[in-house]
């Protein structure tokens, strides 16, 4: 039952993040929202870090990497995500973020932590084709004042890329310093780097139209996602196989699409549906091949040990 609740929470939290963001950025400026969101999440992390009697000492050679991690996780990622959601639609964000495991896999190949295999080329190509179909519709769609789906989707893709790079490059620091310390220092660095952007945009910050739904959306983005989901995901990997967890949480984009249609009345065109199906197929097949190779390698290792 505990495992089911964990997977349920993580899946639905991820699924409703673009929807919550869409509600909130309609009322609060995206650039200011990023500071308010991660400012609160950073304070919560600091409280936990202090409770755990953590220290901030890191090796001098790692300082530059932590600056890069902070830059990726807040200024770059949040600018691209929140502005992208405002210009595009929540359902598109769900599909873009489904590509996170794929991008991390490609980064791992570059870092020589993974080996590229020719049979995976087809599955990766499927994902790229699906994204291109969604982009193609945005290029050919009639112009609507105040709406720029193409720019929005490009920013969402950059948000996914920056998040993937953050996850990939923070791995070594997590092993060295622990997950809590790595996340806390990265968030602190990121929020400090974001202060000039917030000061530039603060004139656009207004709470005049904030209602209960917007407040719930903000709490979802801040407490459940930026702060809570991180800890639960770290815990869940200890009690649930990573391959099983990844496979089950891959359903979140489907939930995002469904509730974007129900709650936000987003139009699900044939182009988008076809592109989304192709993209998800590519992501899932790539993950399945990766998990299959991991099982084979584990079996070989066990045989050698015997």
In 3-state terms, the chain is what percent helix, strand and coil (to 5)? 85, 0, 15
- Determine the Cα–Cα distance for residues 77 and 93; give it in Å rounded to an integer: 13
Q: Take residue 2 and report the two structure tokens written for it.
A: 């505990």
**How many residues comprise the chain?**
306
Nearest to 36 by CA among 88, 74, 87: 74
Q: Which pLDDT does position 184 carry in this prediction?
A: 92
| Domain segments of the chain as ranges | 2-305
- Determine the Cα–Cα distance for residues 54 and 178; give it in Å rounded to an integer: 10
Q: Which pLDDT does position 305 carry in this prediction?
A: 37
How crowded is residue 107: how many other Cβ atoms within 10 Å of its Cβ? Answer: 18
The answer to whether residues 252 and 14 touch, using CB atoms and an 8 Å cutoff, is yes
Residue located via tokens 């995901």:
233
pTM above 0.85, yes or no: no
- Determine the Cα–Cα distance for residues 91 and 19; give it in Å rounded to an integer: 8
Nearest to 130 by CA among 88, 104, 108, 98: 98
Q: Which pLDDT does position 306 carry in this prediction?
A: 38
Q: Take residue 137 and report the two structure tokens written for it.
A: 């519709």
Burial of 211 (0-12, 13-18, 19+ CB in 10 A): exposed
Q: Which pLDDT does position 240 carry in this prediction?
A: 63
- DSSP secondary-structure letter at 229? I
Q: Which pLDDT does position 265 carry in this prediction?
A: 85
Q: Which pLDDT does position 234 carry in this prediction?
A: 59
- Determine the Cα–Cα distance for residues 166 and 72; give it in Å rounded to an integer: 6
DSSP bridge pairs for 144: 147
- Determine the Cα–Cα distance for residues 201 and 157; give it in Å rounded to an integer: 23
The answer to whether residues 279 and 99 touch, using CB atoms and an 8 Å cutoff, is yes
The vertex-284 CA angle with 225 and 22, nearest 5°, equals: 35
Low-confidence ranges of the chain (pLDDT < 50): 294-306
Nearest to 111 by CA among 159, 162, 62, 169: 169
């Amino acid at each position: 039952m505990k495992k089911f609740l964990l997977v349920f929470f993580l899946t639905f939290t991820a699924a409703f993040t673009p929807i919550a963001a869409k509600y909130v950025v309609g009322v609060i400026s995206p650039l200011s929202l990023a500071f308010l969101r991660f400012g609160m999440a950073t304070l919560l992390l600091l409280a936990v870090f202090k409770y755990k009697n953590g220290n901030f000492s890191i090796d001098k050679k790692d300082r530059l990497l932590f600056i890069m991690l902070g830059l990726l996780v807040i200024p770059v990622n949040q600018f691209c995500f929140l502005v992208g959601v405002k210009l595009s639609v929540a359902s598109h964000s769900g599909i873009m973020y489904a590509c996170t495991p794929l991008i991390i896999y490609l980064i791992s190949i570059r870092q020589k932590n993974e080996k590229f295999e020719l049979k995976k080329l087809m599955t990766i190509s499927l994902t790229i084709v699906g994204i291109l179909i969604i982009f193609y519709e945005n290029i050919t769609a009639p112009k609507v004042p105040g709406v720029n789906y193409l720019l929005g989707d490009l920013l969402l893709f950059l948000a996914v890329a920056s998040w993937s790079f953050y996850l990939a490059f923070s791995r070594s620091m997590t092993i060295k310093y622990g997950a809590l310390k790595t996340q806390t220092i990265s968030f602190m660095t990121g929020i400090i780097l974001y202060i000039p952007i917030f000061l530039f945009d603060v004139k656009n910050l207004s709470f005049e139209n904030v209602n209960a739904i917007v407040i719930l959306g903000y709490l979802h983005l801040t407490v459940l996602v930026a702060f809570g989901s991180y800890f639960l995901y770290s815990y869940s990997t200890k009690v649930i196989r990573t391959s099983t967890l990844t496979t089950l949480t891959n359903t979140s984009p489907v939930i995002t699409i469904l509730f974007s249609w129900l709650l936000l009345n987003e139009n699900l065109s044939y182009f988008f549906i076809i592109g989304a199906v192709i993209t998800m197929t590519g992501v899932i097949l790539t993950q399945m091949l990766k998990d299959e190779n991991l099982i084979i390698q584990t079996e070989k290792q066990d045989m050698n040990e015997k």
